[in-house]
Amino acid sequence: MASRRRRPPRVALLVETTRTYTRELLAGVRRYVAAHGPWSCFVELRALESGPPPWLRNWDGDGILTRTFTQETADLITATGLPAVELRATFLKSGRPFVGMDNRLIGQMVAEHFFDRGYQSFAVYSLHTERFFVERVQNFAATVQARGGACSILPEPVSDRATDWEKGQARLISWLTSLPKPVGIFAANDQLGVRVLDACQRAGIAVPEDVAVVGAENEETLCAFANPPLTSVRFDGAAVGFAAAELLARMMRGGAHPKGETLFPPKGIVVRGSSDEFVITDRLVAHAARIIRENACTGLNVDDLCRKLNASRSTLDRRMRAALGRTPKDEILRVRFREVERLLRETDLTIDTIAEQTGFAHSHYLQAAFKEVHGLTPGEFRRKGRP
């Protein structure tokens, strides 16, 4: 008599699909399943606040991968008696093994990012509601203090009401205005980073010349919509998802249920406009850098810049070389090329249109200058930068 075919493991993936990091988590799980499956997976479009599916309590399943938001959900998962792996660092009590990012290294990495750029004043904008916020902030502050710096911390009260949003922004503006400048600010996640940048914009505070901001999680939609785009710590969601699936597979085969943590370092910092400069202590150069950032793509030239600053060309050239290692002309071209690169990656605009939008008089000049800098034509750069 032929033996019955063993059914694939049934696994519930209670992971939100609304974030860059969590989608990478799911991709890592999928990579494990493709190599070692098959699994029968329950997966759906979810928000963090989504509760568990109603059938979970009596489900004939084999395992659960979860990012748990409430104690009620944590207790329900425990009540199933199924092997489960937690993917969210929380204060909730569950006793499940945790696989995730090393939040202590995240804070340390951001502090070193600012030190490497010459900052001497530091601040943190954070929440106190989650374990991962506390870990990130503590290690950022500890790294700053270990190197002789001081760190101002503004914890943000939690509220969803519109009136409280405006009060919160006013409070944030008051705090930002009081900080010594230039200052490097660590926002404990990207949502908070966007709030900092919005407050700077409202208050007329120059970013990154006076305030540089780094977030965490590299939530690409938020980072791209911020003005300027937000620098952020990139997580390794794919590695976390793969390791969590591997651990759950061992547990479903009867292996021990470890109670410790499996932590992964961040992949690095994705540098965008909110922190892409070295600290500038020369106020003339800082003013010049802001004018260039705001006007380079509208045809600004060095003579225009000198008139706006009421400075001679030789003085500006000497002081910018000393502060940045670049001439005013070099800096104008650098800002223009940064925008050219963004338009090539993110749009289908023609080279003629890109030249017009970035301050180049003729597209053939843009193409020649771009190839001299990058070793590629704009068209080759565009093709190389896309899947």
pLDDT at residue 213, rounded to an integer: 97
Report the pLDDT value the prediction gives residue 385, as an integer from 0 to 100.
64
pLDDT score of 122: 96
- Tell me which of 66 and 161 has the higher pLDDT: 66
HSE of 360, CA atoms in CB hemisphere, 13 A: 22
pLDDT digits (tens, 9 = 90+) for 125-159: 998 888 899 999 999 999 999 988 889 998 766 54
Answer for the pair 233, 105: CB distance below 8 angstroms, yes or no.
no
pLDDT at 111: 94
Share of the chain above pLDDT 90, in %: 60
On the question of a common fold for 10-100+237-264 and 103-235, the answer reads yes
Read off the pLDDT of each residue in 274-283 and give the average, rounded to a whole number: 81
Nearby residues of 383 by Cβ (< 8 Å), 6 or more positions away: none
Q: Write out the CATH class of domain 10-100+237-264.
A: alpha beta
Amino acid residing at 160? D
Indicate whether 55 pLDDT > 50.
yes
Residue 49 vs residue 238, higher pLDDT: 238
Q: Reduced to 3 states, what is the DSSP secondary structure of residue 160?
A: coil
Tell me which residue of 30, 15, 94 sits closest to 261, measured CA to CA. Answer: 94
Going by the DSSP 8-state scheme, the letter that residue 2 receives in this structure is P
- Give the whole-number percent of the chain exceeding pLDDT 70: 96
**pLDDT tens, position by position, 209-226:** 899 999 999 999 999 999
- Is the confidence at residue 387, as pLDDT, over 50? no
Query: Residue 280 — very low, low, confident or very high, per pLDDT cuts 50/70/90?
Result: confident
Per-residue model confidence (pLDDT) at position 212: 95
- For 225-260, what is each residue's pLDDT tens digit? 998 999 999 999 999 999 999 999 999 998 877 777
Mean pLDDT, rounded, for 190-196: 95
What does the mean pLDDT of the chain come to? 89
- In tens, the pLDDT along 315-344 reads 999 999 988 888 999 989 988 998 898 888
Strand partners, 98: 86, 261
Q: Which amino acid is at 81?
A: G
User: Is residue 16 scored above 90 in pLDDT?
Assistant: yes
Q: How many residues does the chain have?
A: 387
What's the fold here for domain 283-384?
Arc Repressor Mutant, subunit A (1.10.10)
Confidence (pLDDT) at 156: 67
CATH classification for the domain delimited by 103-235, as one of 3.40.190.10, 3.40.50.2300, 3.30.70.1450, 3.30.2130.10: 3.40.50.2300
Q: How far apart are CA 42 and CA 14, in angstroms?
A: 8
- Domain residue spans of the chain: 10-100+237-264, 103-235, 283-384
pLDDT of residue 2: 43
Mean pLDDT, to the nearest integer, of 34-59?
Answer: 91
Is this structure's pTM higher than 0.85?
no
Q: What is the pLDDT of residues 294-317, one digit of tens each?
A: 899 998 999 999 999 999 999 999
Give how far Cα 126 sits from Cα of 107, 205, 282, Å.
Answer: 12, 20, 30
3-class secondary structure, 51: coil
